[in-house]
Amino acid sequence: EAGVAQSPRYKIIEKRQSVAFWCNPISGHATLYWYQQILGQGPKLLIQFQNNGVVDDSQLPKDRFSAERLKGVDSTLKIQPAKLEDSAVYLCASSPVTGGYEQFFGPGTRLTVL
């Protein structure tokens, strides 16, 4: 089966600019996760969707980050405006059910904010 797809793979922007990331989960997977992975650290959950509803967004900086999952399939994560500390790899993952099952990760988007 096809894996989780993400685009773009790399993005370089100036601070205060906007950026958007796209994720296409594995077909049929109800749960979708966005993680932020800062260099040298473990993935930190930003937001979790079940179908098109938000399950957890407690660590999403809502003043600058937003995410949506249209029709319970693809998802976009947006940062507006970006700060230097947003430089990280943004990983999308999906799983067939919530909890207790493997999360399948995409290749990630490496964001550099200058």
Q: Under the rule (CB under 8 A), what is the footprint of other proteins?
A: 4, 31, 33, 40-45, 48, 55-56, 91, 98-100, 102-103, 105-108
- Three-state secondary structure along 45-114? EEEEEECCEEEECCCCCCCCEEEEEHHHCCEEEEECCCCHHHCEEEEEEEECCCCCCCCEECCCEEEEEC
To the nearest whole angstrom, how small is the minimum distance from the Cβ of residue 42 to other proteins?
3
Put residue 6 in one of left, alpha, beta given phi > 0 → left and psi -120 to 50 → alpha.
Answer: beta
- Extract the tokens encoding 102: 């493997």
Q: Give 72 or 107: the residue with its C-beta nearer to other proteins.
A: 107
- Complex with other proteins: residue 30 or 81, whichever CB lies closer: 30
For residues 57 and 74, which CB has a smaller minimum distance to other proteins in the complex?
57
> Nearer Cβ to other proteins, position 13 or 55?
55
Q: Minimum Å distance from CB 16 to other proteins?
A: 28
What is the nearest approach in angstroms of other proteins to the Cβ of residue 18?
25
